[in-house]
Structure 1
Amino acid sequence: MEDIAVKLAFIGAAGILAQWLAWRLRLPAIVLLLAAGFLAGPVTGFLVPAEDFGKVYQPAVGLAVAIILFEGGLTLNFHEIRETSKAVRRIVLVGGPLTWFGTALAGHFVGGFEWPVAIILGAILVVTGPTVIMPLLRTARLKSRPGSLLRWEAIVNDPIGALFAVISFEIFMVFHGDHHAEGVAVAILLGFAFAIGAGLAAAQLLIWAFIRGHVPEFLKAPVLVAAVLAVFAVSNVFLEESGLLAVTIMGIRMANSRMASLGELRRFKETITVLLVSGLFILLTAALEWPVIRSLDWRAAGFVFALLFVIRPVAIALATIGTGLSWQERVLTAWIAPRGIVAVAVASLFGGLLGKWGTDDGQRMVAFTFAVVVSTILLHGFTLSPLARILGLRTTGKPGILIVGGSRWAAALAAKLKEMEVPVTIADANWNHLVDARQAGLDTHYGDPLSEHAHHHLNIERFNALIAATDNDAYNALVCTDFGPELGRNNVYEIGGQREQSDRQAMHFTIGGRQLFKPGLDFRELRERRSSGWTFQSTRLTEEFGREAYIASRDPEARTILWRKPDGKLVFETASGGAKIQEGDIVLSFAPPRQADTPEGRKRKRAEANGKDES
């Protein structure tokens, strides 16, 4: 019992460590997770999942995959698919069967599998793995349309590929005389219908209960997890693996509801998913055995090559004809199709079942699936960002700033940031507040940044920081609180008076954001200072004009806001942690007018000029 506890703790710690290292080193997290599982399993023998966890192993993997797919469904809002709906439908309905057919041919003629096994393998590899796509999209910074296309395909294809495998296996059983064709057809139809109905009904019941207040806030997330597991298990009773379809539909339906607490639930599910994805990849990789690994030969290499360089490109090329996608988007989609946990889990399930029915190719099928998973993770993981950059499908790599509030002060700040080549957008729900920004040619967003419309059209992934600068301090704090989980608590800033309160009176940092100025300046003070001639000034530090010279030359009342490093990174003064400006940095400050530019200064200058003329 203690050994199992140690191994479970190891899986959790190793998974999160791999995720953290991937973040620090800017590597695909899945690559490090695979390495951790391989070291813990086949190399050292520390983990042998089938023996360590016994009969619980496979059901636990299935339940974890169900939660992952449900969370993926929660990210699919129909507003996002308007531009790509036709392409997604074609890729799923046309590209999926083409991939199934082509992979089955390759499995038989290249891989050397018997036809039943080749057909099942082709169905399994229809999936394109949201557990791999999501982390890749998080770091690739694709434009909205190709990113939405890859995300929708991955999540919708996963349960469909699993169900294709179920159908293939049931047909295999019919040919072996263990099932009647009529009974199988009826069971499959009923299973499909029940999965769709159960997913929609469960989602509708939860939406109704949450909106009407029948479930308290602290119970919403636990109730959601319990409902997902229940729907998955009950659907699988009617048809094996149909639960994956049910929970995906359940997630999509809830994502397109108007639940006020959906954002909090989605973030909670994301946290669980990171833990589950990390643990599952380590577990499934550790389950590999050396005989299975050694069975990989030139046939496996040829099969992987055919799938990646022939079958997938041809299927996507045919499926996306007349969909309105650019040739760059079609090329990216044709190449990026990594397989993940669902493919491995389903292959492991049917590999074991085929072995029980006397088919020797069951374990080879698992090995081939792993070969595809590892190859696609490595190849697609390391090439997505460079390929997207070459094809012009990445958003700008420069860190952007979202300013909430369209005052004249905010417009002047945005204009100076644009002059410093920092991408900036001003958002405001009042059209009249955006007049100055629009006249200055600045990027603007008309609408409340907290609205559902902004969630789908503002594209928050473009920004690395936010400045809440409206005349309402409470709203500024609310904006920072809402965007904090998206951008990071250290990257949301608000204007407002200095919070010099006791610990008992002070608000926790999770409410609101960092102060933009220290000591703080509220909206009225900023407006008055701008009216009196204060301006935004940017200064580049050089070898001749260094930090000491800059500090000596600036007005003592000037407030430094941030500085831009030579590599484009932005460092805010109030979050610098003691870091100092250096040579090559461009410093942005809000400063009073120089003495010569004030009315008194201009008067003195004229008097001096008149004195010189008289002399």
Structure 2
Amino acid sequence: MAVAGEVAGLGPVTAFALVGALGVGSQWLAWRLRMPAIVLMLLAGLAVGPGLGLFDPQTDIGPLMKPMVSIAVAIILFEGGLTLDFHSLREATQGVRRLVVIGAPVGWLTSALTLHYAAGLGWASSAVFGGIMVVTGPTVIAPLLRQARLKSRPAKLLQWEAILNDPVGALAAVLAYTVVLVTADTQTPGEAAVEFAIGVLTASVLGGFAGWLITYSFINGKVPEYMKVPVLFTVVLGVFAVSDYVLHESGLLAVTVMGVYIANQELPSYTEMRRFKEHATVLLVSGVFILLAANMDRETLMALDFRTLLFVVSVILLARPITVLISLLGTDVPWAERWLVALTGPRGVVLVAVAGLFGERLVGLGYEDAAQIPSLAFALVAASVVLHGFTLAPFARFMGLTATGQPGVIIVGGSSWGVGLAKTLQEAKIPTLIMDPNRARLRGAREAGVPIYYGDILSETAHQQVDMVQYEKVICATDNDAYNTLVATDLAPEFGRDNVWQLTRVKEERARHALPATLGGRELGDGQSYLQLSSLILQNWRFGMTTLTDDYGLEQWHADRPEGIPLIELSEKGDIRLIGPDHPPRAKAGWSVIAMLPPKQEADTRD
């Protein structure tokens, strides 16, 4: 293990604080640097563990470490099950369905073969770890896609494959481990088959019953709203503990089945549960990853040899491409997109967390080769994330599969105001999309040649059909303040609160109408509501764009347009900065200012 004797033990409380600070701190720093968080977490864990010898989980946390990791992995697998909505799978494109229905079992097989022949693991360890390797890392894919800005179809193939295969890979690993477990405990194949069937049936029934109980209780008001997340959390832990008590090591399968059941019941409280699982997963995945990285010893790291390199290369250049190309045979997906998806398969923290747990348990069953699983998982994750992080964007450009180098803007609401702003953004070469659930309100946008989407931006169909990755900002500008607030609140976690804006609400200045800071988006403009801005449009106010110079700066712009309402600033590099009461203009020479101007000032606009 890490060199624990070099410094005094930290103690459990200090160790917990250190793990939390390193995990969450790495995620925050990665967000600031716009890079995958897993790279920083890997470096942080290895630095404080085998690198500097400051933290040894086995010593500083002691016997609490194993049950903590087990419970954390159980919640992570429940979160994975909670994402497997069969309706989403049915509605997904043919390519996505094939990557899940065909790609998952083929990927399991090719990964197991690679582990056996390239890494030298036995068939039992290869089968278990191969199931986990089906997961391509949904938390890693998203930032890579935003950075690379792929075209819609390859981006959706990668994104939805990662989301839907997350629980499938976890389930495959659990099933494989159950087979290994019952085989090790029984004497004949018949007894193993019977015990396996009993184990799967028991865990499935217990997980399904717990899911039904949660669904029934939530729908029929048996649990108050403020207690739903705590009750859900407690039931997940209870199911895991009871299932493990009834049949050893069946708890992981039970919580996965529970998550899948709940995901397909269309619960009104699903949004709150989704927030819970997202927050819990960030904390738990960060913690487990830091613990496992710090728990690596120097001897294990030094043991990474030619076979490890052969394994990583075989996965990236053989197992992954074979899986994708077989899955997409007979589809209408162009070959360029097939090769891009085939050569893009970053693994994430879920792989390391689950692999570390199963590797340790397999060693406990007598499979000594399973001790290599954590180090192989670390090597694959680090190599794939670093490789794809640096190569995905240039490879996509080489294949002609990048959508645009310029981030875009979504305007929710097809009013004349929204159409006018969209046309001005298009003139500035900013990709713009107007979305509205009312077809009649989109007529003006269609006539103006602005791209539109007829539907609700909050619907699952919109997230499947609209390439959200290529848009950076969202402006909520419908005539319904409550809907604007709802959209801004719902999209804030996905786009970031700094990137979600809305028009000022009517009566917001009154205390009784004020909303908490956690609801809604940032205010756009200088305090005008939708009704006020629409009235200005009827008075022939229009949108104009002015480019500032060294001789004509922001102060002169304000002096020439005292009534103008600045809305957006565009930097020389194409960065978009929205303007509001709390975000005043700060444009410099070379920047452009988009504003609403009265008729007498519109003619003075400089291009």
Query: Aligned to 2:569, what secondary structure does the other structure show?
Result: strand
Q: Offset at 1:57? A: 1.8
Q: 1:588 aligns with which of 594, 598, 603?
A: 594
Q: Match for 1:581: what amino acid? A: A
Q: Matched residues in 2 for 1:53 and 1:128: separation?
A: 29
Deviates more, 1:468-477 or 1:527-536: 468-477
2:45 is aligned with 1:31: no
Deviations 1:522-564 (A, max 9, x none): 33332332222211111122345433443333x3211111111
Which residue number in structure 2 is paired with residue 376 of structure 1? 384
Whether the aligned pair in 1 keeps the contact of 2:144 and 2:389 (CA below 8 Å) is no
2:139 is aligned with 1:90: no
Q: Offset at 1:120? A: 1.3
Q: Do the aligned partners of residues 124 and 138 (structure 1) sit closer, same or farther apart at CA in structure 2, a change above 3 Å counting?
A: same
Q: Offset at 1:4? A: 0.9
Q: Matched residues in 2 for 1:68 and 1:11: separation?
A: 17
Q: Matched residues in 2 for 1:379 and 1:250: separation?
A: 35
Which residue number in structure 2 is paired with residue 137 of structure 1? 142
Deviations 1:107-148 (A, max 9, x none): 3xxx3x5xxx35413531332375943133234235223211
2:230 is aligned with 1:222: yes
Q: Offset at 1:67? A: 1.4
Q: Matched residues in 1 for 2:351 and 2:82: separation?
A: 21
Q: Offset at 1:14? A: 1.0
Query: Aligned to 1:561, what secondary structure does the other structure show?
Result: strand
Deviations 1:304-328 (A, max 9, x none): 3333323333343334423554434
Which residue number in structure 2 is paired with residue 523 of structure 1? 530
Q: Do the aligned partners of residues 256 and 278 (structure 1) sit closer, same or farther apart at CA in structure 2, a change above 3 Å counting?
A: same
Deviates more, 1:509-518 or 1:344-353: 344-353
2:319 is aligned with 1:311: yes
Q: Matched residues in 2 for 1:502 and 1:435: separation?
A: 35
Q: Matched residues in 2 for 1:192 and 1:287: separation?
A: 32
Deviates more, 1:439-448 or 1:192-201: 192-201
Which residue number in structure 1 is paired with residue 574 of structure 2? 568
Q: Matched residues in 1 for 2:477 and 2:355: separation?
A: 53
- Under a length normalisation based on structure 2, what TM-score does the superposition of the two structures give? 0.87
- Where in structure 1 are there 5+ consecutive unaligned residues? 599-615
Q: Do the aligned partners of residues 451 and 202 (structure 1) sit closer, same or farther apart at CA in structure 2, a change above 3 Å counting?
A: same
TM alignment of 1:157-556, pairs within 5 A: 157-168=169-180, 170-171=182-183, 173=184, 179-237=187-245, 241-341=249-349, 343-345=351-353, 347-349=355-357, 351-352=359-360, 361-392=369-400, 396-496=404-504, 501=509, 506-518=514-526, 520-553=527-560, 555-556=561-562
- Where in structure 2 are there 5+ consecutive unaligned residues? 1-8
Whether the aligned pair in 1 keeps the contact of 2:138 and 2:159 (CA below 8 Å) is no
Q: Do the aligned partners of residues 341 and 376 (structure 1) sit closer, same or farther apart at CA in structure 2, a change above 3 Å counting?
A: same
Whether the aligned pair in 1 keeps the contact of 2:417 and 2:537 (CA below 8 Å) is yes
Whether the aligned pair in 2 keeps the contact of 1:87 and 1:325 (CA below 8 Å) is no
Deviations 1:397-434 (A, max 9, x none): 53322222222222122111222222222222222111
Q: Matched residues in 2 for 1:476 and 1:369: separation?
A: 44
Q: Offset at 1:254? A: 2.5
Deviates more, 1:203-212 or 1:29-38: 203-212
Deviations 1:208-242 (A, max 9, x none): 22122111111111111122222333344466554
Q: Matched residues in 2 for 1:385 and 1:193: separation?
A: 45
Whether the aligned pair in 2 keeps the contact of 1:404 and 1:466 (CA below 8 Å) is yes
Query: Aligned to 1:126, what secondary structure does the other structure show?
Result: helix
Which residue number in structure 2 is paired with residue 613 of structure 1? none
Q: CA RMSD in A?
A: 3.1
Q: Offset at 1:89? A: 0.6
Q: Do the aligned partners of residues 314 and 517 (structure 1) sit closer, same or farther apart at CA in structure 2, a change above 3 Å counting?
A: closer
Deviations 1:408-462 (A, max 9, x none): 2221221112222222222222221111111112122223334454454445444
Whether the aligned pair in 2 keeps the contact of 1:127 and 1:158 (CA below 8 Å) is yes
Residues matched between the structures, number: 585
Q: Matched residues in 2 for 1:475 and 1:354: separation?
A: 52
Deviates more, 1:382-391 or 1:397-406: 382-391
Q: Match for 1:145: what amino acid? A: L
Q: Match for 1:100: what amino acid? A: A
Whether the aligned pair in 1 keeps the contact of 2:504 and 2:529 (CA below 8 Å) is yes
Q: Matched residues in 2 for 1:47 and 1:539: separation?
A: 57
Larger Cα-atom Rg: 1
Q: Offset at 1:279? A: 0.8
Q: Matched residues in 2 for 1:596 and 1:357: separation?
A: 78
Q: Match for 2:206: what amino acid? A: A
Which residue number in structure 1 is paired with residue 73 of structure 2? 65
Q: Do the aligned partners of residues 237 and 89 (structure 1) sit closer, same or farther apart at CA in structure 2, a change above 3 Å counting?
A: farther
Q: Offset at 1:156? A: 1.2
Which residue number in structure 1 is paired with residue 3 of structure 2? none
Q: Offset at 1:597? A: 7.2
Q: Offset at 1:471? A: 2.4
Deviations 1:34-87 (A, max 9, x none): 111111111222222223333332222121112122223333434543211123
Q: Percent of aligned positions with the same letter in both sequences?
A: 39
